Amino acid sequence: MPAPEQPVAATPAEQLIVRVRVYLAEERGLAPSTVQSDLHVARLFLATRPQVAGLGLDKLTAADVVGFVLAECRSRSAASAGYVPTGLRAFLRFCFLDGLTPTPLAGAVPSPARRRPGLPEALEPAEVAALLSSCDAESTFGRRDLAVLTVLVRLGLRAGEVAALRLGDVDWRAGELLVRGKGPKLARLPLPVDVGRAIAGWLAGGRPACEAREVFTRVRAPHRGLSSAGVSAIVLAACKRAGVPEAHAHRLRHTAATQMLRAGAGLVEIGQVLRHESVLTTSIYAQPRKLHRTRAKAQVGWS
């Protein structure tokens, strides 16, 4: 079949969106989901501009920027409102770099006032052991779920990173795992023995023969790679089997970080495993409440 024809951008706004997409995806290297989110905000903003050549961006003022953010966030929830300033800043940075606006207006974008939520509570060692024990290592589903849970709780990977693991990313000789992070970021992590054993058990005794290159696939046809939602569904199902309060995949990432903290690892080491760009991001694990609980449980073993 012939390749589908790409639609031609007809309006000035659509033509500009095409250029912004290239800037976000190729020059800034943002993840596809982030690009789509930023472009959605850009389209909303451009819809408020006069639909003429240039869209009147050369006359854009800080008052226009603030007015758009206030009007758009007024009808949104606190969580949804956070995407508007982020996407608008990305769009305005492009406009200044491309010469569409005479002054940099990204700094004029206000942020909605909201309290940053605290970290979710980490699972206790007994709860983690119950999750892993709930997987039937003699069944195909059990081998896959055990491998997924072990990777999450031992290496602190995100659900999307687990889903993105490919067969060639496991270096058995070097004992390393190649992790595909946000956007184009790649990182190598050591492959612990228990993680390698769980993955090998799935590959050798459970993974169906198929053309998919992902490590973790569906057990039933069609045998394609798992999605992020599929990884989270495995965690939720394990919680239900083990009688553990409902938890999502990201909670196991916090559990891995908390366990490293309890074992005496420093924030720099934890940040390297979690692949944080700044130690300030990792420093949230050093908040007084978490440190107090960590010290109180320092003698608890890890299964």
* 276 included as an active-site residue: yes
The catalytically annotated residue of 182, 218, 248, 293 is 182
Kindly state the tokens that stand for 298.
Answer: 């320092």
Nearest to 183 by CA among 39, 28, 38: 28
Residue of 158, 207, 275, 290 with catalytic role: 158
Give the number of other CB atoms < 10 A from CB of residue 297: 13
Pair of tokens at residue 148: 């997924």
Instruction: Mark whether 254 is an active-site residue.
Output: no
Helix ranges (H only) for the chain are 12-22, 32-46, 62-73, 78-81, 83-97, 125-133, 140-155, 159-164, 193-205, 228-242, 249-262, 267-274, 279-282, 288-296
User: Is 285 a catalytic site residue?
Assistant: yes
Annotated active-site residue 250? The verdict is yes
Q: Which two tokens stand for residue 104?
A: 């940099």
Mark whether 23 is an active-site residue.
Answer: no
Decide if 104 contacts 91 (C-beta within 8 A): no
Q: Which of 49, 143, 262, 285 is catalytic?
A: 285
Catalytic residue among 49, 253, 254, 275: 253
The C-alpha torsion from 132 through 137 and 143 to 147, rounded to 10°, is: 30
Task: Identify whether 40 is a catalytic site residue.
Answer: no
Catalytic residue, chosen from 28, 43, 276, 293, is: 276
Could you give the residue numbers annotated as active site?
158, 182, 250, 253, 276, 285
